[in-house]
Structure 1
Amino acid sequence: MDDVPDSRRRLMANVRSANTKPELIVRSVAHSLGYRYRLHVRSLPGSPDLVFPRKRKVIFVHGCFWHRHYGCSRTTVPRTRADYWNAKFSANVTRDAAQVIALRELGWSVLTIWECETQDLPALQQNISRFISDGVAVCGSRGPDFRKSRTLPR
Structure 2
Amino acid sequence: MENLIKEDLESIGIIGEINEIKQVYCSFEPATIEEKKMLFNAVNSTPEYLKDHVNEVIVINHIYAEQVNIVDENSGEIIPIPRIVIIDNNGIGYGCASFGIFNSIKKLIGIMGAPSPNNPYNVKIKQVNIRNKANYSALTFELVE
> Is TM more than 0.5 here?
no
TM-score of the superposition, structure 2-length normalised?
0.32
Rg larger in structure: 1
Higher helix share: 1
Higher strand share: 2
